[in-house]
Amino acid sequence: MKKLLIVYVILSAVASAGSILSAKSKEIYKDPKAPVEKRVKDLLSRMTLEEKIWQITQGVYGGYDNPNNILGVNRNTVPYIGSVICHATSAQMTNLLQKKAVDSTRLGIPILVGMDIIHGNRTVYPIPLAQGASFNPNLAYQASRVAARESYDVGIHWTFSPMIDITHDPRWGRVMEAYGEDPYVNARFCEAAVKGYQGENLSDEGSIAACLKHYVGYGESEGGRDYFPTDISNQMLWDTYFPPYEAGVKAGAATVMSSFNTLNGIPATCNPYTLQEVLRGKWGFEGFVVSDWEAVMQIVLQGCAADKKEAGEKAINSGLDMDMADFVYVDFLKELIEEGKVSEKTVDEAVSRVLTLKFRLGLFENPYRPETSEADFLKPEYRAVAEQMAAESAVLLKNEAVLPLKKDAKVAVIGPIAEDQKCVMGNWRGLGEFADVITLLDGMKAEFPNLTYSKGCEIEGNDKSGFADAVAVAQASDVVVLCLGEGFLYTGENCSRGSISLPGVQEELFAELVKTGKPVVVLIESGRPLDLTRIAPGATALMDIWCPGVNGGPAVASLLSGRRNPSGKLPVTFPYTLKQIPVYYNHRDRSRRGNMGIYNDGTPLEPLFDFGYGLSYSKFEYSDIQADGLHASVKVTNTSAIDGEETVLWFIKDMACSIARPVKELKYFEKRLIKAGQTEVFEFEMDKLRDLGFVDSRGDRFFEPGQFIIFTGDKQKTIEVK
Ligand code: GLC
């Protein structure tokens, strides 16, 4: 019996050793057929603590051209680092990096390569603020597909986009990076960008991971000063700032980036409420959160940590999975774990989220990309998408029967933006090269055979010596097209400005040209709403073309000639003057009316141009608004002889709610072509809770029966909903 027992014990010992060996030898993480969670679990079990900590660290590899990111003491990228930011110019460059990671490290974990592909990589299309003006999320989807392809091809796996930070302060330079002031518009474009970047599957050719940023409330940096604190009530967070992020999470965004600002005193980089209670608890987000650039160590500067070690402890324990660019996790996490201040389980959760994305991207099977060449970029079909977006995002703000111009008109093109190839790109231009830009002047030369040009003045500076030539050219023409705008990097990160007026002597040049008595068509290149109060009245026509990207020239020229019909509408309010801000459409009402609550120095309460404003060459007449229960409709007739696209915006107002509601809330929009003389019926199928309900300060959506007004065009209808 005893012998039998001994034999049994030996046999079972051999068997279990065999199973351990087989498990050890059977590297499940390398099996593409194994479920991702099994691969993650297996790989995690093989990692040392040091390897885990490097896996949730992001460094910088190769050139990086964002001057605002002070390249601190960034160590050389070690091959077992989890991720790098890389201004990748070719697959050859990133393949070198991946080869080091896959071949020279113990576990061969590929590196996740991230980059700011905000509005195109080499094919730079209009800035997100302009895209919002198109009210065409499907076009934004197409543009994001192009951006993803040109990024995938150079070995970028992850873009830090879409940015969906609502702001009510045009002094803030990053107003260019989101889709305007409205939560609903930002949510729709966010979904389009996430789906455009990520495609059907993250492992598909041409797909890259998206990143919702900057979570959250960054756009309300006090005084429009970047990096400053923000104080936002929970009510405003839930009804204004959270919705685009919730939409992005529901659209399947793979990652989120926390923001630089303290939010109500707690840095967003280590904010358990936003990072855990809301993002994971309320919305069920399963991806990972990356900090912004060196934001973990900036917790010390924000006065919320005594030193970087404490900053690291707070960040990882608040749910901040990956540390960007300051190596705080590398320097302190091991110690924090040994001191029991951070559990290895917390680190394992963060590592698992990063590894999950790498498996979902297929990086273990396809760490390399085919070598790239110039032919892979700026393909005609890519430029075509960029041009269409530039055309659809331009907003015609005024037209006193001067546009479209006649083909044979004698056109004087004047102004410092006419030949510009830098400002029109906008900030965050990825691999965009200035020489790629077809200028406004070149675009117009191709459209108008009878054209003369004079620069008139620079964007900045006080030199008026070019005025005389510009005036002479204007006097010899039938019409002036005056190209004015902001300077290079006037918007973007760390680009806050105390003034939103046109710089230099551009306004004076405009005034001199108006004196000639010739019609003056003003084109405004801008990354933010500008103060146009000294331009709009004297301009014969006025069009904001934003930063239109590589094909802005042909796009704008086609609008001026009528080959295309303007269809953009403002996604952001244009203030009458900075003295008014904050001024935005979906504000709550005051407690008094009439001359109570006005500025007593004559500064108007109303903005210069409203959210949703934009003209067309067509004339659209709204009629017969109907509302039957939760179904509303309106007829829109194109009474002109020109086919045109109209975006019908549907707003609601809750007349009485336990929480004061904005005077108007955009709940749906639809853009459609209406042929000359035709009538189209536009419908809005309301969902009671989604469209007429509201959220409270805990984020719980509720509906209260009562009276609502539905607005669209110049029509409105009051409905009673039980
Ligand atoms: C920057 C920006 C962020 C960007 C990151 C990486 O500081 O705030 O938008 O994605 O660093 O470049």
Which H or E run includes 524?
A: strand 520-525
Helix, strand, coil share of the chain (percent; to 5) = 35, 20, 45
Maximal CA-CA distance, the chain = 117
User: What mean pLDDT comes out for the span 67-79?
Assistant: 55
Is this model's pTM higher than 0.75 or not? yes
Atom 3, ligand 1: residue with shortest CA distance:
292
Considering the chain, what percentage of its residues have pLDDT values greater than 90? 92
| Pocket flag, ligand 1, residue 212 (CB < 6 Å) | no
493 Cα to the center of ligand 1, angstroms = 8
Which H or E run includes 266?
A: strand 266-267
257 Cα to the center of ligand 1, angstroms = 9
pLDDT in tens, 541-577: 999 999 999 999 999 999 999 999 999 999 999 999 9
Strands 701-702 and 694-695: antiparallel
Report CA-CA distances (Å) from 163 to 212, 248, 259, 264: 6, 10, 11, 21
Strands 262-263 and 323-324: unpaired
> Can you read off the two tokens belonging to residue 182?
């409205």
Atom 10, ligand 1: residue with shortest CA distance:
160
130 Cα to the center of ligand 1, angstroms = 20
**Position in ligand 1 atom list of the atom nearest CA 214:** 9
Q: How confident is the model at residue 23 (pLDDT cuts 50, 70, 90)?
A: very low
Tell me the C-alpha distance between 44 and 52, whole Å.
8
**Position in ligand 1 atom list of the atom nearest CA 116:** 10
| Pocket flag, ligand 1, residue 116 (CB < 6 Å) | yes
Instruction: Determine the pLDDT at residue 73.
Output: 37
443 Cα to the center of ligand 1, angstroms = 33
Tell me the C-alpha distance between 165 and 174, whole Å.
8
Instruction: Determine the pLDDT at residue 14.
Output: 53
User: What mean pLDDT comes out for the span 425-449?
Assistant: 97
* DSSP string for 171-185: TSGGGGGSS-S-HHH
H runs (alpha helix) in 528-648 = 552-561
- Which of 2-6, 352-356, 448-452, 666-670 has the weakest average pLDDT? 2-6
Tell me the C-alpha distance between 224 and 174, whole Å.
9
- Which residue carries 């009804």 as its tokens? 239
Atom 6, ligand 1: residue with shortest CA distance:
293
| Pocket flag, ligand 1, residue 181 (CB < 6 Å) | no
Instruction: Determine the pLDDT at residue 574.
Output: 98
pLDDT in tens, 135-144: 999 999 999 9
> Can you read off the two tokens belonging to residue 45?
């079990």
CA neighbor of 510 nearest in space, from 471, 473, 553: 471
pLDDT at position 351 over 50: yes
| Beta carbons of 192 and 143 less than 8 angstroms apart | no
User: What mean pLDDT comes out for the span 682-699?
Assistant: 98
Tell me the C-alpha distance between 620 and 643, whole Å.
10
293 Cα to the center of ligand 1, angstroms = 6
| Pocket flag, ligand 1, residue 85 (CB < 6 Å) | yes
In degrees rounded to 5, what are phi and psi of residue 113?
Answer: -100, 120
Q: What is the mean pLDDT of the chain?
A: 95
Instruction: Determine the pLDDT at residue 61.
Output: 84
**Position in ligand 1 atom list of the atom nearest CA 163:** 9
User: What mean pLDDT comes out for the span 90-114?
Assistant: 94
pLDDT at position 76 over 80: no
User: Could you tell which of 493, 495, 496 is best to mutate to test the pocket of ligand 1, judged by most ligand atoms within 8 Å of the CB?
Assistant: 493
352 Cα to the center of ligand 1, angstroms = 24
| Pocket flag, ligand 1, residue 80 (CB < 6 Å) | no
CA neighbor of 380 nearest in space, from 588, 566, 146: 146
63 Cα to the center of ligand 1, angstroms = 15
Cα–Cα–Cα angle for 213, 179, 253, rounded to 5 degrees: 40
| Pocket flag, ligand 1, residue 66 (CB < 6 Å) | yes
Instruction: Determine the pLDDT at residue 26.
Output: 81
On the question of a cis peptide bond just before residue 404, with omega within 30 degrees of 0, the verdict is yes
Considering the chain, what percentage of its residues have pLDDT values greater than 70? 94
Instruction: Determine the pLDDT at residue 401.
Output: 94
CA neighbor of 511 nearest in space, from 456, 575, 556, 458: 456
In degrees rounded to 5, what are phi and psi of residue 187?
Answer: -65, -45
On the question of a cis peptide bond just before residue 575, with omega within 30 degrees of 0, the verdict is no
| Beta carbons of 432 and 425 less than 8 angstroms apart | yes
- Which of 73-77, 153-157, 313-317, 448-452 has the weakest average pLDDT? 73-77
Q: How confident is the model at residue 62 (pLDDT cuts 50, 70, 90)?
A: confident
**Position in ligand 1 atom list of the atom nearest CA 213:** 9
User: Could you tell which of 156, 158, 226, 257 is best to mutate to test the pocket of ligand 1, judged by most ligand atoms within 8 Å of the CB?
Assistant: 257
| Pocket flag, ligand 1, residue 213 (CB < 6 Å) | yes
pLDDT at position 396 over 90: yes
> Can you read off the two tokens belonging to residue 417?
């933006």
| Beta carbons of 233 and 266 less than 8 angstroms apart | no
User: Could you tell which of 211, 227, 292 is best to mutate to test the pocket of ligand 1, judged by most ligand atoms within 8 Å of the CB?
Assistant: 292
pLDDT in tens, 162-211: 999 999 999 999 999 999 999 999 999 999 999 999 999 999 999 999 99
Residues with a known catalytic role: 292
What's the burial of 373, exposed, middle or buried (CB within 10 Å: 0-12/13-18/19+)? exposed
Cα–Cα–Cα angle for 622, 644, 521, rounded to 5 degrees: 105
Tell me the C-alpha distance between 683 and 663, whole Å.
22
292 Cα to the center of ligand 1, angstroms = 6
| Pocket flag, ligand 1, residue 493 (CB < 6 Å) | yes
Q: How confident is the model at residue 78 (pLDDT cuts 50, 70, 90)?
A: confident
| Pocket flag, ligand 1, residue 293 (CB < 6 Å) | yes
Instruction: Determine the pLDDT at residue 4.
Output: 60
pLDDT in tens, 453-503: 999 999 999 999 999 999 999 999 999 999 999 999 999 999 999 999 999
| Pocket flag, ligand 1, residue 160 (CB < 6 Å) | yes
Report CA-CA distances (Å) from 220 to 70, 170, 300, 397, 572: 23, 10, 21, 27, 15
Instruction: Determine the pLDDT at residue 345.
Output: 98
Instruction: Determine the pLDDT at residue 70.
Output: 43
579 Cα to the center of ligand 1, angstroms = 30
**Position in ligand 1 atom list of the atom nearest CA 177:** 9
| Pocket flag, ligand 1, residue 153 (CB < 6 Å) | no
User: What mean pLDDT comes out for the span 44-64?
Assistant: 91
| Pocket flag, ligand 1, residue 69 (CB < 6 Å) | yes
| Pocket flag, ligand 1, residue 292 (CB < 6 Å) | yes
Atom 8, ligand 1: residue with shortest CA distance:
292
Which H or E run includes 651?
A: strand 644-654
484 Cα to the center of ligand 1, angstroms = 29
| Beta carbons of 34 and 28 less than 8 angstroms apart | yes
- Residues paired with 257 in a beta bridge: 290
307 alpha-carbon distance from chain centroid:
33
Instruction: Determine the pLDDT at residue 8.
Output: 58
Per-residue H/E/C for 54-109: HHCEEEEECCCCCCCCCCCCCCCCCCCCCEEEECCCCHHHHHHHHHHHHHHCCCCC
User: What mean pLDDT comes out for the span 352-375?
Assistant: 97
| Pocket flag, ligand 1, residue 259 (CB < 6 Å) | no
Residues 6+ apart with CB under 8 A from 674: 618, 620, 636, 637, 638, 643, 644, 645, 646, 680
- Residues paired with 209 in a beta bridge: 158
Instruction: Determine the pLDDT at residue 79.
Output: 85
Instruction: Determine the pLDDT at residue 72.
Output: 39
Tell me the C-alpha distance between 358 and 365, whole Å.
10
| Beta carbons of 650 and 666 less than 8 angstroms apart | yes
